[in-house]
Amino acid sequence: MLTSVSTMSRGKAPVSAKNGSIKLVAGNSNPALAEAISSCLNLPLTKAIVRRFADMEIFVEIQENVRGSDVFVIQSTSYPANDHLMELLIITDALRRASARRITAVIPYFGYARQDRKAGPRTPISAKLVANLITHAGADRVMTLDLHAGQIQGFFDIPTDNLYASPVMVRDIKEKFDLSKVMVVSPDVGGVVRARGLAKRINAPLAIIDKRRERAGESEVMNVIGEVAGHTCILVDDIVDSGGTLVNAADALLANGAKDVYAYITHGVLSGGAVARVTSSKLKELVITDSIQPTEAIRKAANIRHLSIAPLIGEAIGRTASEESVSSLFD
């Protein structure tokens, strides 16, 4: 379970193990999360300008001295993914040229993660390309959250910490539900390991949805593996994009006798008509983290709720700066 850094518990900012100077730099992808992380660490965000020229070229200026500092750049590569990725690369280059001692790219949502293999002949592995770009821009470390595929850590030739949102979700589930009546459900076979890990933490049974995708962007629920009748079902996954999988899964679970269906998803991409699809579905509640800044439609949705990952990321940043273990956060 997530614990508190000792320096933060005393109301003090964490200190770098090397020279005591820690800087937090935020891009434009999720300023609210960056501010929350800053508050958790009791550290102000570094003054910087990240803006666009008339032709939409990105310009960055770091307005504080960062020479010799341990710098953490907070930037999800969410929609618009290419703009936010370029911001991250240019900020990193600016910090490298300003003689920052170490640059850690903190990427709560790693865009392009679903392009982690060749899907067919003459297709790219874009996740590897993005990893190369971040490395060559000058990042010394990467910190991210619930990668779509764990092997993406190996795409980087620099140290990479893949954090897990499960401690945050487990705490919320324990507060909201009678665990004796809960069943954790994986919405597809590929997510079984993730769902099993959460089910083990709350000592709940596990069910699986057998899903067959006829064509890209569409999903069809075919079968429920497990006895879900009478249970409150919690769907667990890393990304919700179109929302079709969750809606179809909820329908299948209810058709098999489930009492209610909730979903806990780390990254709420929710593109296109996803919000309308979720709000009009039989899904009781969709719970997502703030790894991606929510749109106005998401904030107004009656059955979509947010959990903050700022304390988790703040804790990991504090431990990284002081050269302490990050993996022990999840023991």
pLDDT in tens, 107-131: 999 999 999 999 899 999 999 999 9
Is the pLDDT reported for residue 10 higher than 60?
no
Predicted pLDDT at 220: 65
Q: Tell me, what DSSP letter sits at residue 293?
A: P
Mean pLDDT of 272-301: 96
166-307 maps to which CATH number?
3.40.50.2020
Strand partners, 74: 26, 106
Predicted pLDDT at 51: 92
Residue pair 231/185 in contact (Cβ under 8 Å)? The answer is: no
Predicted pLDDT at 286: 98
Answer yes or no: 211 catalytic: yes
pLDDT band of residue 331 (cuts 50, 70, 90) is: confident
Is the pLDDT reported for residue 11 higher than 60?
no
CA–CA separation, 178 and 168 (whole Å): 17
Is the pLDDT reported for residue 161 higher than 50?
yes
Predicted pLDDT at 283: 96
- Which value, to the nearest 10 degrees, does the dihedral of the CA atoms of residues 170, 171, 172, 175 take? 120
Q: What is the fold of 6-163+310-330?
A: Rossmann fold (3.40.50)
Q: For 232-272, how does the pLDDT look when each residue is reduced to its tens digit (9 = 90+)?
A: 999 999 999 999 989 999 999 999 999 999 999 999 999 99
Q: What would you report as the CA-atom Rg of the chain, rounded to the nearest whole angstrom?
A: 20
> By C-alpha distance, which of 13, 78, 77 is closest to 46?
13
Q: At 92, is the secondary structure helix, strand, or coil?
A: helix
Q: Please tell me if the domain spanning 6-163+310-330 has the same topology as the one spanning 166-307.
A: yes
Predicted pLDDT at 5: 39
- The amino acid that residue 11 corresponds to is G
Lowest average pLDDT, out of 149-163, 218-232, 261-275, goes to 218-232
CA–CA separation, 33 and 317 (whole Å): 14
Q: Is the whole model's pTM more than 0.75, yes or no? A: yes
CA distances (Å), origin 20, targets 8, 12, 34, 69, 245: 15, 12, 21, 8, 47
Kindly state the tokens that stand for 230.
């009478």
pLDDT band of residue 2 (cuts 50, 70, 90) is: very low
What residue has token string 């660490």?
41
Given the residues 18, 47, 211, 259, the one annotated as active site: 211
Is the pLDDT reported for residue 150 higher than 90?
no
What are the extents of the domains in the chain? 6-163+310-330, 166-307
Q: For 48-105, how does the pLDDT look when each residue is reduced to its tens digit (9 = 90+)?
A: 999 999 999 999 999 999 999 999 999 999 999 999 999 999 999 999 999 999 999 9
Kindly state the tokens that stand for 55.
């032709």
Is the pLDDT reported for residue 18 higher than 70?
no
> By C-alpha distance, which of 176, 170, 271, 192 is closest to 238?
192
Instruction: Classify strands 206-212 and 260-268 as parallel, antiparallel or unpaired.
Output: unpaired
Mean pLDDT of 10-20: 58
Q: At 89, is the secondary structure helix, strand, or coil?
A: helix
Is the pLDDT reported for residue 22 higher than 90?
yes
- The amino acid that residue 246 corresponds to is L
Is the pLDDT reported for residue 215 higher than 80?
no
Residue pair 84/52 in contact (Cβ under 8 Å)? The answer is: no
CA–CA separation, 137 and 65 (whole Å): 20
Q: For 191-208, how does the pLDDT look when each residue is reduced to its tens digit (9 = 90+)?
A: 999 999 999 999 999 999
